[in-house]
Amino acid sequence: MWIADNWKDYEVIDTSAGEKLERWGSYILVRPDPQVIWDTKRSDKRWKHMNGHYHRSSKGGGEWEFFDLPEEWSIRYKELTFRLKPFSFKHTGLFPEQAVNWDWVSSIIKDAGKPIKVLNLFAYTGGATLACAKAGANVTHVDASKGMVSWAKENAAASGLSDAPIRWLVDDCVKFVEREIRRGNTYDAIIMDPPSYGRGPKGEIWKIEESIFPFIRLTTQILSKDALFYLVNSYTTGLQPAVLTYMIHSALVPAFSGHVESSEVGLPVTASGLVLPCGASGRWTS
């Protein structure tokens, strides 16, 4: 498992009975997690003294209950700063487990010894975008949500990257890639974090089981001949590491050679010493 264990401002304190107790900077949140099917004694007093608690509804969805939590606050990861705010579907605007991939892409970019163009698709609030830009890459950031792209720009500003070579685009990722193919544009690295289900700005429907492999194959047409890396993140249960490996290998290796590996991604749990699984990632390197 690839473990995001370099955090100082974030911590999974404990897990029990479908929930996780987390520290985000100086604030404590309790959020549901479908992976936590065990029920252990909640000995940490912060289970009863949290700043925010997301209650899942039996009818689907849920709602936040707040106890002295600001509308927005910030946490840092190494040289990056992220603006946080709790919003719908239990999220805060950041997936801390992805830090293990930020470190991975940063090291490749820094070691490349040449200018690198990175395309970040379904780019959300920009964690990978900022990591790549901080490492020295030129980044194209694409997401269908105008609000998420605006949030990512705020994170860039907070991280001192307002003037970094980042192109911010609100667009449907599939349509954007199709246009880049027609334009003849290429990228040295591609990152994608596709949703299980989503709609584009004009109502385009995305169902990951049907769409992901054709899309991966499509994006290979905009990879440069000497591309460096390719990263696919998945939070969909059916897309296990072996599936990610097979898809990426089938789409990239015949044309680009290289090596593919995939793994679960996880966060260490302070109370138990175990690791909480948080989806999976597939990586190709030249």
At 175, give phi and psi (nearest 5°): -65, -35
Which residue shows structure tokens 């590491």? Answer: 241
Instruction: Provide mean pLDDT across the span 208-226.
Output: 93
DSSP H helical segments within 139-223, as ranges? 146-158, 173-183, 208-219
pLDDT tens digits, 229-270:
999 999 887 789 999 999 999 999 999 999 999 999 999 999
* CATH homologous superfamily for the domain 96-285: Vaccinia Virus protein VP39 (3.40.50.150)
pLDDT at 165: 98
Domain boundaries, the chain: 2-71, 96-285
Q: Which residues have a Cβ under 8 Å from the Cβ of 243 and sit 6 or more positions away?
A: none
DSSP tag of 57: P
Q: Do 2-71 and 96-285 share a fold?
A: no
pLDDT at 58: 80
Return the structure tokens found at 228: 């460096």
> 201 pLDDT band (50/70/90 cuts)?
low
CATH: 3.40.109.10, 3.40.50.300, 3.90.1650.10, 2.60.40.1180. Which one for 2-71?
Answer: 2.60.40.1180
Q: Is the pLDDT of residue 139 over 70?
A: yes
